[in-house]
Amino acid sequence: MAQDSSSPGGSLGVKAVDEVQAMIQKSLQLPKVKFLRQRMAEAGCTVKDNFFRAVVCQGRKGMAYFAPGHGIFVCSNHVTFQDEVNQLIIHELIHAYDDCRAVNLRWNNCAHQACSEIRAGHLSGDCHFMRELLRGHFKLRGHEPLPRIQWKMYGIFVTMTHSHLIKLHKKLHGLVVLPF
């Protein structure tokens, strides 16, 4: 799945592991990252610098992932720019915070993972209007991206519609969710 060895840098924008590790170190200086790490420490989950690692990912489609008990891994063969690494670190830190704070969070439960994806997407700024415009989504309404939810037990990806995510959120939290 992931290896700690270096990949050849420079070809087709692929970065070497040490280059991406340097980008991660730069990301750790961002105010949002410092804030999230501080909140995790206050919740009893100290996050040291070695919690974040650049690796070569084999067979993974994502650019980064959080592995409970192991840390955050950024796929050096899938990232190109510092801004990507910044966004990935913030997004995955929100998953780590959820893992730290939630009492009965089960990552193999699709509903739990969907809830964390919704939070990470919105809180990390991944759903920000300008970011969506840069992705080529030019609609003014409904600009939130549809997260790809992985069912870990089956190793498949499912894309849920926005209305399904709202229904799932209501079911999980018993809350009235206002339309976006």
Catalytic positions, written as ranges = 92
CB atoms near residue 30 (< 10 Å): 13
CB atoms near residue 120 (< 10 Å): 22
Residue type, 27: S
The rounded distance, in Å, linking the Cα atoms of 179 and 166 is 8
Nearest partner of 27 among 155, 156, 162, 124, judged by Cα: 124
The rounded distance, in Å, linking the Cα atoms of 71 and 2 is 13
The rounded distance, in Å, linking the Cα atoms of 45 and 100 is 6
Structure tokens at 72: 């955050």
Region class of 71: left (phi > 0), else alpha (psi between -120 and 50), else beta: left
